[in-house]
Structure 1
């Protein structure tokens, strides 16, 4: 995958990885060829010897409705203390259920993951709060505890952390690579985007806001979290910094610095080994280095367009209930249809608004524009449609997509919804074939290909490769919860034939690329699989 030229050029390395990790109609991206079940990675990272704080299970007592959350109508902010942070983690990275079939039992989480393998880990950086010591904590979702990875030597440490906390996300690439091989790095970034969204939704339910700390670099974040402490990972798989979020009732302080926070910390705990053996995928290591985020990245100045409030979904569930009932569908019935007005409302939720989570966390202008395979939308002709999430992108897309496309604005859609019909006709076979011949892309109400502005954002910023995948994960999480609110279900599709989709649209070069697929419809439940509550194994009071 690597030549001497790409070795010295991070952007060329990113492009080389992207091309090498594509699936093609006649071959798949390099993978393990089979699954070594005895070597499946442990989905839970633990730090042996680290002090831990038990968190109460309080999400059931949170009265905030999902309808108010999706519309950006926050309740009075909860106080910043242990019990509220317990709800934040319970509804963002915590367990949502256990599944059981025969002798197998596995956990589901509020943040979805490719293959349910969960490469994303969560950390809390906070000053001393009621019920919680100052320092750096790792969230262990299985036990719903915070493991204190680092404690400060000074009582004045973290004085700049007022009005909020830092929630940091990291990735363990091996968890995905065990199953998916070279393409796993993409999936780790999808999952990070989903997790960013779950934190934003959970924060909004508490009356808080989440903000992405775009200027924090990888090296500084790794130091703050202790990820570069070789002695703590001597026998464990490596963990990589992804992103830091500011979460709380107040905006982040202007002087917030990961390097300053890293001073004077004493670390404790040894990371557990997840598999007895690991296959190193060189291409993943190379792209991770090439997409390294430097420190002090200039902050973008994007301001969302003012739009009408989201149409009401009719969902009566609390935010806690709906967030935890989210599941990834494994099959669709091929019959269920979706009213056009509900479809429009789902798509409207993909447009950024100043106060509506999770897109209020996103500091960049939209670079992802959903291509829609409409199968069963009541009153809408089956066919291909496109949602241009930014007005300026429409002209570029019209110039990039070569073919006999109609580009007719959908008359029934709300005036502010930039939804365009490209062609009418049965597109189920196209959706199925392009999504690695999976029926789930054709048996749904609609399927999605997240068409992404690609070459331009990467110029002089190879780390933006990760941001593009994060944005698709954010949009995917919106569709997950909007589907649940509509009484149907969704699932992400990481396996698709990249360039087959590009050829269908007449796309040339790398200006635009499909980075993620999705599908939404009426689910078929597997009655053989039992569903169990998430935390009964703890026998812990709320």
Structure 2
């Protein structure tokens, strides 16, 4: 085992919560000293985006078939709409003198460690360069102006994390939550792009060092403890004449470009230091890699004609091969059609995290439940950008679902995982397949509400819901092979979580991600005895109880009239 792998595994084990103790975190929290949620760079030219609030025609159900959604033109208004729907504000909440913003992309504790950047090369609607998105103002700050105007790479989106923003509240476990949030943000970007008729290509080969250079994160423009860590670059495909990305030329343009601005302080006192986060961040740094062209094999056969050369959708997926065939280790399940009649933009903007559920809710319809499970399978449109076999599988505590006996169930997300999961869990589990449409298995019958609540740090949201779940990762061999894959496992969890958030809203319910749970107690319940599999995220869906004391205000009312 190399040193980087050892560092990652040590971090993972020391940041587990247990019934006896929680992972190390601050002994007290000064809520008046919370870090600023909105990063700004002083000394940059500001590009004001058109006022947000525009609606799009596609229904949420239309996102199942992205090939049927006409592509919007790439202009400043639609680029701004992409940023708003993916990373922008969704509302303000107010209680007495306290006022706080909600966003379209979820975040642990509403702390929002994720920062978004737009990179333009060869577009007519904005000068070529690197721009930081300020969600509060719905504006772009130009951080870099490219001197090479011959580049034609279109539009890219970069994501980074400010680990300290999360650590201010959650201490050492914060690195995990930052990775969850990157997965949430990736999912939010995918849904926003699909609603515009565009598509997202994850630039999976890029090393963290190159991402940092492109986004200017390696510059001495940040307060030491408030630096940003590079996470990913995504290319947005919007039109037929997309050219292959010249990553080397793009990077050279950034390195030789004119840079502007310094990051404003996040204006909070750094009372606690968590050096283990910097240690695991360094150990999990991603090098340049050769990645599979996963898009060539992920679509089931029924989609092959839709992505053949000359078809309306083919130009949005230029990295696909001409023929699409399912591979053996995928669960190619048919997606149950959504009954939601709201538009995609309505669902995206109304997404919330429930604070409490109605523990006396009637059972949720079984069709809605199966729809949610089918939506997180790897061959759906939500996972179109994901280039690897799935590593995350779901163990579900069913509490209130029509036609299902309360108990524990499992959803392996690829076929080859079934036998290893069976071997790693309790022999008493019956693993009885109960759905013709899904690889969905019954394990145990019984009221598990108190168990689910206890496992999720005694939180009632895990028991008062229709169902809750643990996301179980193929872990040990993955991390030993490449320690930076630790981050990608959490990204996959966040991508699943974002899908569940939106599917819950579409079913007139609500979801909540749960980062606080007792890791090894969950493993013990399932019978997992080593690190072959590990629990990385919990999630719950139910009927929300609204706090009527809170006032809801428009997301961008402070900017003036919004469409």
TM over 0.5: yes
- 1:18 to 2:5 alignment: no
Tell me if the contact between 2:166 and 2:174 (Cα under 8 Å) persists in the aligned partners. yes
- 1:62, CA displacement in angstroms? 1.5
The equivalent of 1:396 in structure 2 is 420
Corresponding residue to 2:222 among 233, 246, 250: 233
SS in 1 for 2:213: helix
Corresponding residue to 1:173 among 163, 166, 170: 163
Distance 1:131-1:31 versus aligned 2 partners, 3 A rule: same
Aligned counterparts, 1:161-310, within 5 A: 161=153, 164-230=154-220, 232-234=221-223, 237-249=226-238, 253=244, 255-257=246-248, 259-278=251-270, 279-299=272-292, 301=294, 303-304=297-298, 306=300, 307=332, 309-310=334-335
Question: How many angstroms apart in 2 are the aligned matches of 1:424 and 1:36?
Answer: 44
The equivalent of 1:144 in structure 2 is 138
Distance 1:480-1:474 versus aligned 2 partners, 3 A rule: same
Q: What RMSD in Å do the two structures reach over aligned CA positions?
A: 1.7
Distance 1:121-1:314 versus aligned 2 partners, 3 A rule: same
The equivalent of 1:31 in structure 2 is 25
Tell me if the contact between 1:135 and 1:152 (Cα under 8 Å) persists in the aligned partners. yes
Query: Structure 2 unaligned runs (5+)?
Result: 301-331
The equivalent of 1:41 in structure 2 is 35
Tell me if the contact between 1:435 and 1:495 (Cα under 8 Å) persists in the aligned partners. yes
- 1:536, CA displacement in angstroms? 0.9
The equivalent of 2:483 in structure 1 is 462
- 1:347 to 2:373 alignment: yes
- 1:448, CA displacement in angstroms? 0.8
SS in 2 for 1:405: coil
Aligned counterparts, 1:503-542, within 5 A: 503-539=524-560
- 1:69 to 2:63 alignment: yes
SS in 2 for 1:525: coil
Tell me if the contact between 1:370 and 1:451 (Cα under 8 Å) persists in the aligned partners. yes
**More displaced 10-residue stretch of structure 1: 55-64 or 127-136:** 55-64
Aligned counterparts, 1:480-491, within 5 A: 480-491=501-512
Question: How many angstroms apart in 2 are the aligned matches of 1:360 and 1:41?
Answer: 35
Question: How many angstroms apart in 1 are the aligned matches of 2:294 and 2:139?
Answer: 37
**More displaced 10-residue stretch of structure 1: 123-132 or 83-92:** 123-132
Tell me if the contact between 1:165 and 1:247 (Cα under 8 Å) persists in the aligned partners. yes
Number of residue pairs the alignment of both structures matches:
526
Tell me if the contact between 1:123 and 1:167 (Cα under 8 Å) persists in the aligned partners. yes
- 1:333, CA displacement in angstroms? 0.5
Distance 1:71-1:482 versus aligned 2 partners, 3 A rule: farther
Question: How many angstroms apart in 2 are the aligned matches of 1:276 and 1:477?
Answer: 29
Q: Provide, for residues 362-393 of structure 1, a one-character-per-residue CA deviation record: whole Å limited to 9, x for no partner.
A: 11111000110000001100000000110000
Q: Provide, for residues 342-372 of structure 1, a one-character-per-residue CA deviation record: whole Å limited to 9, x for no partner.
A: 111110001122xx43211111111000110
The equivalent of 1:335 in structure 2 is 360
Question: How many angstroms apart in 2 are the aligned matches of 1:372 and 1:264?
Answer: 51
Tell me if the contact between 2:213 and 2:255 (Cα under 8 Å) persists in the aligned partners. no
- 1:374 to 2:366 alignment: no
Distance 1:433-1:122 versus aligned 2 partners, 3 A rule: same
TM-score (norm 2): 0.91
Question: How many angstroms apart in 1 are the aligned matches of 2:140 and 2:486?
Answer: 31
Tell me if the contact between 1:488 and 1:523 (Cα under 8 Å) persists in the aligned partners. yes
Question: How many angstroms apart in 1 are the aligned matches of 2:107 and 2:67?
Answer: 28
SS in 2 for 1:138: strand
Tell me if the contact between 2:366 and 2:403 (Cα under 8 Å) persists in the aligned partners. yes
